[in-house]
Amino acid sequence: MATLRVEHLNKTFPAIERGSDATTAIDDLSFEIGGHVFVSVVGPSGCGKSTLLNIVSGIETATHGSVSVSEDGSPARLGYVFQEPRLLPWRTVMQNMLYVLEGEDVPDRARDYLRMVGLDDAGGKFPAQLSGGMQQRVGIARAFAVEPDLLLMDEPFSHLDAITARSLREQLQGIWTEAKKTVLFVTHDIAEAVQLSNRVLILAPGGRLFADLPIELPYPRKASDTEVAMAQAELLRRFEEMQEETDAARATDVAS
Amino acid sequence: MSSVPVARASRGGRPPSLVTRRRVRGIAGLVIGVGGFLLVWTLLSALIFGPFTLPPPSRIGSVMWEIVRSGQFIHHFVPTILRLAYGFGLALLIGFPVGYLMGTSRWWRAFFHDMTIVAGSIPGITYAVLALVVFGIKILGPILSVGLVSMPYVAINVAEGLDSVDHRLVQMSDAYGRRRASIVRNVLIPSVAPFAFAGVRLSFALAWKVEQLTEVFGSSSGVGFQIRHEFEDFSIPGMLAWVLLFVIFMILVERFVLAKLERYLFRWRLEDRP
């Protein structure tokens, strides 16, 4: 398990057209996570959640500040579950797994993780032969199979129907408890964040850290549990607070 | 429970599947189409033109059989196919790198774009005549005319294939730390392949016609040479027989080699969702 350290992170996208302003996606963000934790980042759309994951994974670079992922000083292995499955359509499920894996026990590991998401028989199929939910499960199996020190998940259930998403959330808790990974999970769904994580970071528009809240409830959690519902209400209250503050700040801006 | 017998009944007395019905319909269409064409041909030959101007299909058929039986077909066919293969190989050899440059660099796209469009719009006969005048009738002329006429299609399709690469898959590969060579093999080449293949099929359809033209204009062997030879002898049955033999061969290559290969290579696209 790795430690992710984000220090004074800033990401500004340059203006696309002349005359328009540069956009600040993340502004002076600092936090640290490590160990067997499930940390969710929630916030309204456009608050830099996905950008944060892209910087952590190295797909994008930071404008200022630093992001380091270390596993006892050595560089850490990352797993990434995207909003869409992002499988290679011309490779079978098994080949998709093998594409990202390295090492000797690779086919066994791929099979183990496919079994974990309930797709032991799907190895020889092409992605187009699977439903959307099954494809996303392959994406999850792939990310766990690299046995990452840090697992990044970017709204992995947002494109799925409510019933599939619900069952995958329950499965994910089981896999996470078993595999003991550090997870950084991005979502705009507060209920989902509360059900899955033991720590929630709320980002305000402009990519500022608004709150850092622990959720101390035992796993597995169901969306219908009373404690989960209460924690959800509490989080929602903080979210509304954040929105009121943002609106007030915007009003002052306009007035001045 | 009533659901069990119903399920069994539908399995036992299964109606022909949609695929089978489509295939039967396709074959029926083909047979009626070809049969109708031969019938019209026979009628035109008998009632309007007369058997000397337009010999009936049966006459052409027997000449075709004679050409094949005497070994003449193989004798002239081999050089034609070899020239076609070399020319086509040349087109791929130049078309792929040019397409790769156009698909990956703005500068090279600007450099090649108009030239490939112009090269693709020039009529095949121009290439045929030009290649013969410049490079002679031996072997280089026909090969180069086939190469020139096919190359733009290959290049443009490869470039378009590279344009269509899903960058989210490249990002995924980067996030999982895949090396460049692995990304090329697993993401870029499979993305480009359907486009490249379409380019190959399209240019193949043109290439063999241009190949025939060059042989008609100037060559001392090959199917095109035989077509001219028969023409000079005023032998319409001989001319038509050679043309038809070659057309049939090309259709067979298209149907049974290229189309089958395409189905196999891109089987991941043809699978239906459950």
ipTM of the shown complex: 0.85
Q: Which helix (H) or strand (E) holds A74?
A: strand A74-75
Q: Which residues contact A242 (CB under 8 A, 6 or more apart)?
A: A202, A204, A210, A211
| Nearest Cβ partner for B175 among A59, A128, A129 | A59
Q: CA B22 to CA B207: how far, in whole Å?
A: 31
A50, A55, A86: best mutation site toward chain B, by most B Cβ within 10 Å? A86
B142 and B41 fall within a common domain: no
A53, A77, A90, A150: best mutation site toward chain B, by most B Cβ within 10 Å? A90
Q: Could you report the per-residue pLDDT of B194-208, keeping only the tens digit for each? A: 888 888 888 887 888
Minimal Cα distance from B171: which residue of A?
A59
Q: Residue B272: what pLDDT?
A: 46
Q: How many CB pairs under 8 A join A and B?
A: 60
DSSP-based three-state secondary structure for A12: strand
B27 and B76 fall within a common domain: no
Q: Residue B8: what pLDDT?
A: 43
Minimal Cα distance from A92: which residue of B?
B268
Residue pair A182/A35 in contact (Cβ under 8 Å)? The answer is: yes
Chain A residues whose CB is inside 8 A of the B177 CB are: 78
Minimal Cα distance from B165: which residue of A?
A88
Q: Residue B5: what pLDDT?
A: 40
Chain B residues whose CB is inside 8 A of the A79 CB are: 176
CB atoms under 10 Å from CB of A87, counted, come to 24
Q: Helix H segments across chain B?
A: 3-12, 18-43, 57-69, 72-104, 106-121, 124-135, 140-163, 167-175, 180-183, 189-217, 223-232, 236-252, 259-265, 267-270
B61 and B148 fall within a common domain: yes
Cis check for the bond before A44: say yes or no (omega within 30 of 0): no
Nearest to B134 by CA among B55, A221, B143: B143
Q: Does A57 touch chain B (CB under 8 A)?
A: yes
B69 and B139 fall within a common domain: yes
Q: In this model, does residue B9 exceed pLDDT 60?
A: no
Q: Which two tokens stand for residue A223?
A: 């969306």
Q: Could you report the per-residue pLDDT of B244-254, keeping only the tens digit for each? A: 988 888 888 88
Q: Could you report the per-residue pLDDT of A23-81, keeping only the tens digit for each? A: 888 888 899 998 889 999 998 887 888 899 999 988 889 999 988 887 776 777 889 99
| Nearest Cβ partner for B171 among A59, A79, A88 | A59
Q: Give CA B60 to chain center in angstroms.
A: 25
Domain count across chain B:
2
B18 and B116 fall within a common domain: no
B175–A89: do the CB atoms touch at under 8 Å?
A: no
Residue pair A58/B175 in contact (Cβ under 8 Å)? The answer is: yes
Give the neighbor-by-neighbor strand order of the sheet with A182-187: A78-81, A150-154, A182-187, A38-42, A199-204, A208-214
DSSP assignment of A170-233: HHHHHHHHHHT-EEEEEES-HHHHHHH-SEEEEEETTTEEEEEEE---PSS--TT-HHHHHHHH
Our CA dihedral for B47, B52, B57, B60, rounded to 10 degrees, sits at: 180
Q: Could you report the per-residue pLDDT of A107-161, keeping only the tens digit for each? A: 899 999 898 888 989 999 999 999 988 999 999 999 989 888 889 999 999 888 8
In CATH, which of 3.40.50.300, 1.10.3720.10, 3.30.43.10, 3.30.420.130 is domain A3-77+148-255? 3.40.50.300
Residue pair A184/A153 in contact (Cβ under 8 Å)? The answer is: yes
Please give the residue range of the domain that contains residue B137. Answer: 55-270
CB atoms under 10 Å from CB of A79, counted, come to 24
Residue B186 confidence class, pLDDT cut points 50, 70, 90: very high
A82–B187: do the CB atoms touch at under 8 Å?
A: no
Residue A243 confidence class, pLDDT cut points 50, 70, 90: confident
B152 and B65 fall within a common domain: yes
Residue B14 confidence class, pLDDT cut points 50, 70, 90: low
Single-letter amino acid code for the residue at B66: E
B36 and B59 fall within a common domain: no
Using the CB atoms, write b or e for B38-72: b if 16+ within 10 Å. Answer: eeebeeebeeeeeeeebbbbebbeebbeebeeeee
Minimal Cα distance from B188: which residue of A?
A88
A88, A92, A95: best mutation site toward chain B, by most B Cβ within 10 Å? A88
Residue B7 confidence class, pLDDT cut points 50, 70, 90: very low
B18 and B74 fall within a common domain: no
Q: CA B5 to CA A239: how far, in whole Å?
A: 57
Chain B residues whose CB is inside 8 A of the A129 CB are: 271-274
Q: In this model, does residue A187 exceed pLDDT 80?
A: yes
Q: Does A75 touch chain B (CB under 8 A)?
A: no
B11 and B117 fall within a common domain: no
B106 and B223 fall within a common domain: yes
B125 and B229 fall within a common domain: yes
